[in-house]
Chains A and B, each alone.
Chain A
Amino acid sequence: MTDLTSLTLAEARDALKAKSFTAVELTDAYLAAMEKARVLNAYVTETPDKARDMARASDARIAAGKAGALEGLPLGIKDLYATKGVHTQACSHILDGFEPTYESTVSANLWADGAVMLGKLNMDEFAMGSSNETSHYGSVVNPWRRNGSDVNLVPGGSSGGSAAAVAARLCLGATATDTGGSIRQPAAFTGTTGIKPTYGRCSRWGLVAFASSLDQAGPIARDVRDTAILLKSMASVDPKDTTSVDLPVPDYEAAIGKSVKGFKIGIPKEYRLDGMPAEIDALWQKGIDILREAGAEIVDISLPHTKYALPAYYIVAPAEASSNLARYDGVRYGLRVPGSDIIDMYENTRAAGFGAEVKRRILIGTYVLSAGYYDAYYLRAQKVRTLIKRDFETVYAAGVDAILTPATPSAAFGIGEKADADPVEMYLNDVFTVTVNMAGLPGLAVPAGLSAEGLPLGLQLIGRPFDEETLFTLGSTIEKAVGTFTPKQWW
């Protein structure tokens, strides 16, 4: 029998349907692969018993002819998602021992469609980071290495465990979340595909909140089709999240392989940064050529407020985070460190429970919301956000269907390489992705080639609100031209 973990999610789905193997056999293949890959630190908790129980139930449903859309397909879940009775800590020390008594809506949707949970995936603490180095559980190791090198690289972040697990074939697909690039940047660093859907497409209920006006759930998977299949199951309107939208969820998979003839693709000049590596520029040109040859019309566009997205984000996101993270007080869940009185207990608990990056963002957020500074920082940033969104509305009104940009300004870097750098240098990783969150738009990251050092590089497609289908069509066109990318197994 060929290695079951080499199949894509769509292939495994079809093979289970054809009864070529059982869900239990498929799950066991993944559990064995996970055990062998612990050096990557992608999972913070493995749930083998639960996985086998779910797989057995799937086999029973398949035998009874009652299979769901994801029946028997093993997935990894980012530690940010509340999973009933299972470790849920957003990889923070302050949530020590937290096992929710409820299930997030998105993961509940996946289980309702028959998917199998393999475990919880590593991430940057509270999704604050671009390298997975802020996790309380330690860095994730990127399964990719530079040619002829054994230096460990970061998988990107914050969904670094999700991206690494998918790339290393430790799950068929994974849930992730994206507040400023946390799905698309790690996807680009690991040669995987990820989509941040339009704000409101997936319910945020049961996700550990970071910045509520920016957070959105989405999948990371091995190819564009698998990503489309997962998003269909994850998306839903939810009475428990008033920002989830009541729009029908299309059959995203049907958008794969459709013609791109007549699509108008915008190329924003503001994304051509000074000092951008030549290979990122070349990759972007390759994407342009592929879409043009496939029949799309390429137009130059301008999104004049692009450079202000990242600074505005570093006001809005920390402000919302400082409010959301106020709930960690040592009383209701997680860690408690005693003190001389209740305030001392709060301060001790939060000092011990939060890591350095999380503290930094809480302090920035508290500062920009504090008396006398609100107008100068927060209100101004929210006005700039209106202008960023207006930039996109203007080009879409002019007939542009989607926008093509690089996903990241570089390939994956070494673990610890940016440890002594200014925090802002790490933030620049998200310079191409953060605009999309600020405007609430859908963005797809798709691998498009390898760097000179042999590392994956990705392109980003940005769509109109709730037009994820166009992104899947365009993404599958790029994928058809360049193929998919798998790291050489060294672990």
Chain B
Amino acid sequence: MSVDTATVRRVARLARIKVTDDEAERMTNELNSILGFVEQLDEVDISGVEPMTSVVSVKMRRRQDVVTDGEDAEGVTANAPVSEDNFFLVPKVVE
């Protein structure tokens, strides 16, 4: 399978990364080189094989259903590029 520039633009849009025409062109070639490389997986007989979900066979631990964190709006917003009164500021999203 290979991708064309329109597909690369669509995927970049899904990934929320703006690409220029030059970049889209270049990335199409790079992506096709990678997709060509992974194509060899088609040789493998995977009938009846379960997909891996965990490399180590351990049971997921559960924790007590209690509040252990929170009440720290200042810490949470400390690294925000733009914030006010411990709120994140973003461009207007609702008219």
Contact = CB atoms under 8 A, between A and B. Distances in A.
Interface of A: 97-101, 198-200, 213, 239, 242-243, 245-246, 305, 307-308, 310-312, 314-315, 322, 326, 329-336, 338-339, 341-343, 345-348, 350-351, 354, 359-360, 362-364, 366-367, 370, 376-377, 379-387, 389, 422-424, 427, 438-440, 465
Contacts of B8: 363
Interface in B42-94: 42-44, 46, 49-56, 58, 60-61, 63, 75, 77-82, 88, 90-93
Interface in B15-60: 15-19, 27, 30-31, 33-35, 37-44, 46, 49-56, 58, 60
Interface residues of B, number: 52
B28 to A, nearest CB: 10
B51 A363 contact: no
A323 to B, nearest CB: 10
Contacts, number: 162
B16 A385 contact: no
7 contacts: A315-B41, A333-B81, A381-B41, A383-B52, A385-B51, A385-B52, A424-B37
B91 A363 contact: no
Contacts of A307: 40
A246 B62 CA distance: 13
B29 to A, nearest CB: 9
Contacts of A333: 79-81
B50 A386 contact: yes
A379 B51 contact: yes
A356 to B, nearest CB: 9
Given A101-B78, A311-B41, A362 B15 contact: yes
B12 interface: yes
Contacts of B1: 376
B38 A363 contact: no
Given A362-B15, A364-B34, A199 B44 contact: no
Contacts of A376: 1
Nearest to B48: A383
Contact of A439 (B13, B19, B55): B55
B90 to A, nearest CB: 6
A314 B17 contact: no
A350 B38 contact: no
Given A367-B3, A381-B41, 15 more contacts: A101-B78, A200-B58, A239-B63, A311-B37, A311-B40, A314-B38, A332-B88, A347-B17, A348-B18, A364-B31, A370-B11, A380-B41, A382-B51, A383-B51, A424-B34
